Amino acid sequence: MSSCLVTGAGRGIGRAVAVALSTAGHSVALTARNAAELAGTAALCPGPTLAIPADITSADGIEGVFAQVEKEFGPVEILVANAGGASSSPLAKITDEDWQAMLDLNLTAPFRCVRRAVPAMVDGGYGRIVVIASVASKVGEPYIAAYTAAKHGVLGLVRSAAAELARTGVTVNAVCPGYVDTPMTDQSVAAIVAKTGRSAAEAREILARKQPTGKLITVEEVSAAVLYCVSNGAVTGQALNVDGGALQS
């Protein structure tokens, strides 16, 4: 089976993806900033894992992660660029630092990971790249301009990379979730509570109603979409919505 790297693997979507890939028989390298959370993910994986604490907003951090994976597992054949984060602020109050932080984490870090992974994938004639994007890659909402701009950008990266690599055996896709039941959504709930005075339950219901199904997306639903992208070599350059029907293709 293949050598995998999952970024942001300590919790949430990244943890679910790592466990799913491991269950499918792959060797899975895990990276995130929090070593304890990585250990928790590794404990859930039935197959070989490699936990590498790192800050992937650093170019040196990314190089170190790839070098360690290559030493232990060989070249990365499946890359899931999941690490990301969101911020919320009125447009006029977004600072340059806020803007840059969203670009660094949600756009530049995935770009650097893709750039680092591609040469070995092309040389081997096989590769699967999946970026965890967002419905914010396709539509704008108030108060998340920096996050939305970064996610629109990363979808452009996916589409261009897929076109460039189409004849090489390497596929590049994005999975675009709606609001997922993760710690990041918990932060959104807390922000709504702080700004509006609503209860946490009311705030969570607001986010659940963003999906026509009336429910938050589960991490398992997202990881299933990732495995689909990994398993089907005819699927490339796509942005799969996992959003309860919010955006119809």
DSSP the chain: --EEEEESTTSHHHHHHHHHHHHTT-EEEEEES-HHHHHHHHHH-SS-EEEEE--TTSHHHHHHHHHHHHHHH-S--EEEE---------GGG--HHHHHHHHIIIIIHHHHHHHHHHHHHHHHT-EEEEEE--GGGT---TT-HHHHHHHHHHHHHHHHHHHHHTTTTEEEEEEEESSBSSHHHHHHHHHHHHHH---HHHHHHHHHTTSTTSSPBPHHHHHHHHHHHHH-TT--S-EEEESTTSS--
Q: Is 228 a catalytic residue?
A: no
Spot the catalytic one: 143, 147, 179, 228.
147
Residue keyed to tokens 């609001």: 179
Q: Which positions are catalytic? A: 147
